[in-house]
Amino acid sequence: MIQALILISAYLLGSIPSGLIVGKIFFGIDIREHGSGNLGATNTFRVLGKKAGAFVTAADILKGTAAASLPLLFDAHVSLLAGLIAVIGHIFPIFAGFRGGKAVATSAGVLLAYNPLFFLLLAAVFIITLSISKYVSLASVTAAVTALIYAIIYTYYTEDIPFLAVVIALVFFVIYRHRANMIRLKNGTEPKVGKNKKK
């Protein structure tokens, strides 16, 4: 019963639409009607600016971390599963008509709770790729692929199968949610960081 309540709570945490809340309360707009139409941090940066984008990024990371940490309060061994459920909540938020973000920040938050060093590695890969390419989508996908490679190697030595399974799911979500971005990258039409002004 406790585990079921934890997983439900994790979904509800993941469903908190940070970008939608910030947009409506502080700017009077629904960011899903602007920019890429996405509810996540990247579109918040593009539509609402750096401060709002940074806040939404932090909020989305923390809700993943909170969901993955929630089982620790009840000595329940469902940390990774709770984190995964929170990511699903972020992608399909019940509080925002099931139109959510692309799973990057919330996935990062889950990994932060489970393995902080892994999180730092992926953050470094993301930042370096973004600095070089200026494409958030490319940085996100590169970090996801790095996560998969790391998880495979890590599991080979530790036999932490649940960790590998959850990372595979998170990587799938991130890449699947960025499929349109990858097409635009191929066609040379993907917007770079700093190319869109705040609306």
Residue 185 has pLDDT above 90, yes or no: yes
> What integer pLDDT is reported at residue 71 of this predicted model?
92
- Band of residue 198 on the pLDDT scale cut at 50, 70, 90: very low
How many residues can be counted in the chain? Answer: 199
Q: What is the DSSP letter of 190?
A: P
Residue 81 has pLDDT above 60, yes or no: yes
> What integer pLDDT is reported at residue 74 of this predicted model?
84
CA distance 58 to 32: 19
- Band of residue 195 on the pLDDT scale cut at 50, 70, 90: low
Q: What is the DSSP letter of 37?
A: -
| For range 115-137, the mean pLDDT | 96
Tokens of residue 177, six digits: 């949610």
| For range 60-70, the mean pLDDT | 96
Of the chain, the end-to-end C-alpha distance in Å amounts to 47
Q: 106 near 86, Cβ under 8 Å?
A: yes
CA distance 41 to 52: 9
Summarised one tens digit per residue, pLDDT across range 147-164 is 999 999 999 999 999 999
From residue 47, give the alpha-carbon distance in Å to each of 16, 147, 174, 176.
Answer: 19, 29, 21, 23
Percent of the chain with pLDDT over 90: 88
